[in-house]
Amino acid sequence: MSGEIATLMLNAGFVLAAMLVVWVLSVILRDAGIVDIFWGLGFVIIALATWSLNPGYSTRAALIAGLTALWGLRLAGHLYLRWRREASEDRRYAAMRAKRGPSFWWKSLYIVFGLQAAIMFAVSLPVQFGIMAETPGRLTLADVLGTVLVLTGLAFEAIGDAQLTAFKADPANRGKVMDRGLWAWTRHPNYFGDAVVWWGLFIIAASSPALWWTAIGPALMTWFLVNVSGKALLERGLRKSRPGYDDYVWRTSGFIPLPPRRRD
């Protein structure tokens, strides 16, 4: 147990130190949106640090660390490219900057960067404890199921992001609602894929029955994606800025992919 506590403390230190560096960079660039790029990378740091701090390198530990790194690096790369294309601060952070005024530069340290570090640490609990768990080296059916879910969620997320990027790149779609491909089945395929990834990682970690409580990680991630920083926040803006979005909401599932509704 003392080893686990030491690893958790070191991981918290790594994340806080990295977030502090990213915050300083955001102050220099006057762009708090770069925290989104680090979101995925932070989980990679946690996974690889946990793996390196715990000798043994079981197959399950390597699987969890590898899948987490795959998810985090893809997400970070996607968000970095989006940040480069848009060349302006994300409207969420721009609105916070306008509301907080000149003091935003230092308040963002705890209301943006500190908060995300805390959420990241909590969400990653199944990854941290799953890597640290003393379990048999052989993989189980739960490991296979979890891996399938992770890869399915990752594919869903990546395809949804690629479809939206291509849609936005076409000038003819300016001001229109993206309702094609995966976006015809769910209004947020990227967020849905994200949630599936984290439930998959939890299932792998829960191969050790004592780790059932780490479900708090994917539950927290799903709650934020649906009710706070993801779906709910984004849709408030889209309802105001996209004509026809209300009709899109009527015919398209809000989160879990379902066949679109049709008017008789």
Please enumerate in sequence order all residues whose Cβ is within 8 A of that of 190, keeping only pairs 6 or more positions apart, or say none: 156, 157, 160, 161, 164
* Residue 40 main-chain phi, psi, to 5 deg: -70, -40
Per-residue confidence of the chain (264 residues) as pLDDT tens digits? 577 889 999 999 999 999 999 999 999 999 999 999 999 999 999 999 999 988 766 889 999 999 999 999 999 999 999 999 887 888 888 888 998 999 999 999 999 999 999 999 999 999 999 999 877 667 889 999 999 999 999 999 999 999 999 999 999 998 888 999 999 999 999 999 999 999 999 999 998 888 999 999 999 999 999 888 767 777 777 777 777 788 888 999 989 999 998 866
CB-CB neighbours of 100 under 10 Å: 14
Q: How far apart are CA 120 and CA 95, in angstroms?
A: 23
The per-type count for the chain, helices as H runs and strands as E runs, is 12, 0
Domain ranges of the chain: 1-136
What pLDDT score does 54 carry?
Answer: 83
Give the span between the Cα atoms of 147 and 202, in whole angstroms: 10
The predicted pLDDT at position 57 comes to 62
Rounded Cα distance between 252 and 258, Å, is 8
